[in-house]
Structure 1
Amino acid sequence: MLPYLLLLILAHAGWVTTADLGNYSLVKNIFILAGQSNISGRGGVINHSLRPGVVNESWDGVIPRECESNPSILRLSGGLKWVEAHEPLHKDIDVNNTCGIGPGMPFANTVLKKDPSIGVIGLVPCAVGGTSITEWAPGGFLYRSMIKRTKAATRGGGKIRALLWFQGESDTKTLEDAKMYKVRLERFFNHVRHDLGMPNLTVIQVGIATALGPYMELVREAQREINIGNLKYVDAKGLQIGPDYTHLTTAAQIQLGQMLADAFLRPN
């Protein structure tokens, strides 16, 4: 009896959460976050480097209200445990980069605000900055890791509700990659659905707003032309870009998260 009471006291104090105890049945709605840096999150990341080619970054630690933690929002950690979600969501996934604010928390908070009955949301961070679509090819490390993490997330019976995908900036570098993007991305989406046993899994794709090469419009055109069912498209173009001309600002990430939530909640 005493250990049980102690556990209740610790949980109430915030030192232990039910998710940490391995209760996977808490999570009712699972969302996969995958792609590259703009979904991993670079909002609030500051580059302190004084010369080109030198990277010395830190996150400013500012968490806007739209990105605050919520007991009804959990994240699957790098160790495959459910913990209460907080920024930066990808800190133990995108480990070779400095992570900041992304769209995941504003997405989840907006969904809960607009549909309070939806139940506990579980976010599965999988994104890695700077990755190309070929690095997400079925059978590769990133792909296998995403599928493994997603299957682990469903152990308690939670339902995979959508894949949130934001990637493509790295595929603007060469004409060949830009031309092949549509075929490669459709193949990726189809394999994800097959390997998760969900042929109609909702995919919410973000149209890129920046590029690492000269072929952004070719990649954007390919994204708009993806021909699979139950695909929703959210365009990031026009959102505020940071001083590095590559990453969305914190304010833009909040706006994007809200746009993703609206797309998810919008009937097909």
Structure 2
Amino acid sequence: MKRNERIVRILVVGLGVCLLGTSACKEHKPKREVSETEVSSAVESPKLIVLAGQSNMVGGGNRSNTDLPESYPNITYINQGFSSGLKRPGSHSFGPEQGIIQQLKKKFPKQEFVVYKYAVGGSSLYDWLPEQDSAKVAEMGHPKFGSLYDSLLKYLPKQLEGLILQPDAFLWIQGETDARFPQAGEEYHEGFKNLLQRFRKDGGNPGVPVIIGQVNPPAERYPAALAVMEAQSKMTSALPNVKMVSLEGISKREDNLHYNTPGQIEVGKRLGKMLNSILE
């Protein structure tokens, strides 16, 4: 039975309770139609969880090597993930959303969620900034990506089955590309702060909680790795309601950059536990 049908039945039963109660309730009363507004207000809107970032948020886990279910009751997953070549990952590919969803189901088995992911592999923070600097995008980003911030908002789901959606959490894994450039590392903090402030304004929830999965690319190949990591860490005190989750010690592929199949699940598990603590 669909959600709205369940609630209509509950409301109709509730309106008819007095017919079975005291004598005072036995007076004939005109039958009243139940409006769609009443139905919507009687149903708690699904919680909207937004995931964004680059390749480790897109994910490279292989579903065929796991026993992950194809879908989860009460959770709608919307995947707008792309590789650096702007191609959609294969049907067996998954990212940290799987671990996140598992944690949500464990903590909130009856709550409905919409998990929306917009992530692009290889993207720099310059690609994500609401006000892009075309010269810096050309030097340290990817002009072919266009404005990822505009796309994030464009595909942000606004309704589900007539119920209004607003972001209840924003989860971010990104920074490895910026860690290649000392200038990008130096500018990461202010740029990321601007991005979060704008999303809180434009996304419809000025106080939306933010969870950062702190990147950890190998410093010997990424000269600004420590600068990006420090910038992400500082964000927890620069803005209210921002949390950071360490992703250290999670298994990766041979490139020591991208998480492997069990690693993707563990990344999601860590983020999901932090998310649960915020939502409870």
**TM-score band w.r.t. shorter chain:** 0.7 to 0.9
Distance 2:60 2:46 in 1: 28
Distance 1:101 1:77 in 2: 10
- 1:68–1:27 Cα change, 3 Å: farther
Contact 1:93 1:126 in 2 (8 A): no
Contact 1:105 1:257 in 2 (8 A): yes
The alignment partner of 1:162 has SS state of strand
Query: What is the CA-CA distance between 1:111 and the residue it aligns to?
Result: 0.8
Q: Stretches of 4+ moved more than 4 A in 1?
A: 91-94
- 1:163–1:29 Cα change, 3 Å: same
What whole-Å deviation, never above 9, does each CA across 1:69-127 have from its counterpart, x for those lacking one?
2132212355xxxxxxxxxxx3699843645221112201211112213x221111100
Contact 1:38 1:166 in 2 (8 A): yes
1:148 and 2:154 aligned: yes
Q: Choose which of 123, 126, 140 in structure 2 pairs with 1:134.
A: 126
Higher helix share: 2
Judge which range, 62-71 or 223-232, deviates more: 62-71
What corresponds to 1:232 in structure 2?
Answer: 243
| Bigger radius of gyration among the two | 2
What is the percent sequence identity of the aligned residues?
27
What corresponds to 1:164 in structure 2?
Answer: 171
What corresponds to 1:245 in structure 2?
Answer: 256
Distance 2:205 2:84 in 1: 24
Give the counterpart letter for 1:250 in structure 2.
T
Contact 1:30 1:153 in 2 (8 A): no
Contact 1:67 1:106 in 2 (8 A): no
Distance 2:173 2:71 in 1: 22
Q: When the two structures are aligned, how many residues end up with a matched partner?
A: 217
- 1:267–1:26 Cα change, 3 Å: closer
Output the TM-score relative to the length of structure 2.
Answer: 0.70
Distance 2:271 2:209 in 1: 12
Distance 1:136 1:176 in 2: 16
1:113 and 2:119 aligned: no
Distance 1:142 1:123 in 2: 18
Contact 2:83 2:120 in 1 (8 A): no
Distance 2:216 2:180 in 1: 14
Distance 2:126 2:215 in 1: 17
Aligned residue runs from structure 1 range 33-112, under 5 A: 33-44=51-62, 61-62=63-64, 64-66=66-68, 68-76=70-78, 90=81, 95-96=86-87, 98=89, 100-112=93-105
5+ residue gaps in structure 1? 1-24, 45-60, 79-89
Query: What is the CA-CA distance between 1:158 and the residue it aligns to?
Result: 2.9
What corresponds to 2:20 in structure 1?
Answer: none
Output the TM-score relative to the length of structure 1.
Answer: 0.73
Contact 2:84 2:121 in 1 (8 A): no
1:182 and 2:189 aligned: yes
The alignment partner of 1:169 has SS state of coil
5+ residue gaps in structure 2? 1-42, 132-145
- 1:229–1:207 Cα change, 3 Å: same
- 1:105–1:153 Cα change, 3 Å: farther
Distance 1:72 1:92 in 2: 28
The alignment partner of 1:219 has SS state of helix
What corresponds to 1:56 in structure 2?
Answer: none
The alignment partner of 2:119 has SS state of coil
What root-mean-square deviation, in Å, do the aligned CA atoms of Structure 1 and Structure 2 show? 2.7
Contact 1:67 1:105 in 2 (8 A): no
Distance 1:30 1:94 in 2: 28
What whole-Å deviation, never above 9, does each CA across 1:113-147 have from its counterpart, x for those lacking one?
12213x22111110000000010011562101111
Q: Choose which of 223, 226, 234 in structure 2 pairs with 1:217.
A: 226
What whole-Å deviation, never above 9, does each CA across 1:11-62 have from its counterpart, x for those lacking one?
xxxxxxxxxxxxxx89601111100000111123xxxxxxxxxxxxxxxx41
Query: What is the CA-CA distance between 1:236 and the residue it aligns to?
Result: 0.9
The alignment partner of 1:242 has SS state of coil
Give the counterpart letter for 1:40 in structure 2.
V
The alignment partner of 1:116 has SS state of coil
